[in-house]
Amino acid sequence: MQKREFLRLLKEDEEFRHAVAGLIGYEELLEGQREIREEIRKLWEEVRSLRESQEKLWEEVRSLREESISLRKGQEKLWEEVRSLREDFRSMNRKLDALGARWGIMSESAFRETLRGLVEKGFQAEVERWTHYDEEGYVFGYPSVIEIDILVRNGRCMAIEITSHARASDVAALKRKVELYERVTGNKVDEVVISSPFIDESALAAARKLGVSTHSGS
C-alpha cells in the first residue's frame, strides 16, 4: 500500500483507522511487556544475590556460633585448671604449715634462736654473736652489717650459720663472713658449719668446694 493511499484510508475509513490505532497500541503493549520482563529479570537477579548474601551471612553466623561454643569450652577448661591450681596451692600451704609445725618455725629469727640454743646445749658452750659493719662491702658487695655465730670449745673456734633454708649463695656468703672475721679479729676459725633442715643440692656442692661442713636434721 502506497503512502498516499494509506493516508487516505486513515482519513476516510474509520474502521481502518481504528485497526491501525489498535496495531500501534499492541506494539506499545508488547514493548511495555518487554520492559516489565526485563525489570522482573533484574529483580530475580537481585533476589538471587540477596539469597546468596543471606546464605553467606548464615554461614558466618554458624561459624561464630561454633567459635562461641569452642570459646565457652575453652573457658570452662581454663576455670577447671584454675580450680586445680587453687587446690594444689592450698595443698602446698597445708604441707608447709605441717613442716612449720614439725620444725617449730614461726619465723626465720625464731628458728635460728631455737637452733642456737640446741647448739649451745649440745656442745656445752656458749655461742657468741659477732657483729661487724662491713664498710668495704667484702661479703655482699656493698656496705652492710655482718653477723656470724662463733662457738669456742676446747681451744677450737667454730663459725656457725643457722638458717631455715640453705642455698649456694648462703654458703658462699658464710665463707666470706669467716674470712672477714679472721681478718678483723685475728682469730683463726677451725671449722665452718652451716645448719639447716633444708639444704639445696647446689648448697651441698658449694659447701664441698669451699670446705664448709653441713648439718641437716631432715
* pLDDT tens digits, 131-178: 999 999 999 999 999 999 888 777 788 888 888 788 999 999 999 999
Residue 10 has pLDDT above 60, yes or no: no
pLDDT value at position 105?
Answer: 46
Name the range with the highest mean pLDDT among 17-21, 123-127, 130-134: 130-134
- Look at phi and psi of residue 30 and say left if phi exceeds 0, alpha if psi is from -120 to 50, else beta: alpha
Length of the chain: 218
Check whether residue 96 and residue 183 sit in a common domain: no
Give the CA-trace dihedral at 113, 118, 124, 130, to 10 degrees. -30
Closest CA to 162 of 133, 135, 134, 122: 122
**Residue 69: pLDDT band with limits 50, 70, 90:** confident
Instruction: Give the number of domains in the chain.
Output: 2
Check whether residue 96 and residue 112 sit in a common domain: no
pLDDT value at position 106?
Answer: 46
The domain boundary, picked from 103, 126, 161, lies at 103
Domain residues for the domain of 196 are 108-215
Check whether residue 38 and residue 24 sit in a common domain: yes
The pTM assigned to this predicted structure is 0.47
Check whether residue 52 and residue 130 sit in a common domain: no
Check whether residue 51 and residue 133 sit in a common domain: no
Check whether residue 98 and residue 114 sit in a common domain: no
The domain boundary, picked from 103, 120, 138, lies at 103
Give the CA-trace dihedral at 33, 36, 41, 47, to 10 degrees. -150
The domain boundary, picked from 87, 103, 119, lies at 103
DSSP state of 124: T
Check whether residue 99 and residue 113 sit in a common domain: no
More confident of the two residues 44 and 2: 44
Rg of the chain over Cα atoms, rounded to whole angstroms, equals 51
Check whether residue 25 and residue 76 sit in a common domain: yes
Query: SS3 for 37-91, per residue?
Result: HHHHHHHHHHHHHHHHHHHHHHHHHHHHHHHHHHHHHHHHHHHHHHHHHHHHHHH
The 10 Å CB-count burial string (b at 16+, else e) for 67-88 is eeeeeeeeeeeeeeeeeeeeee
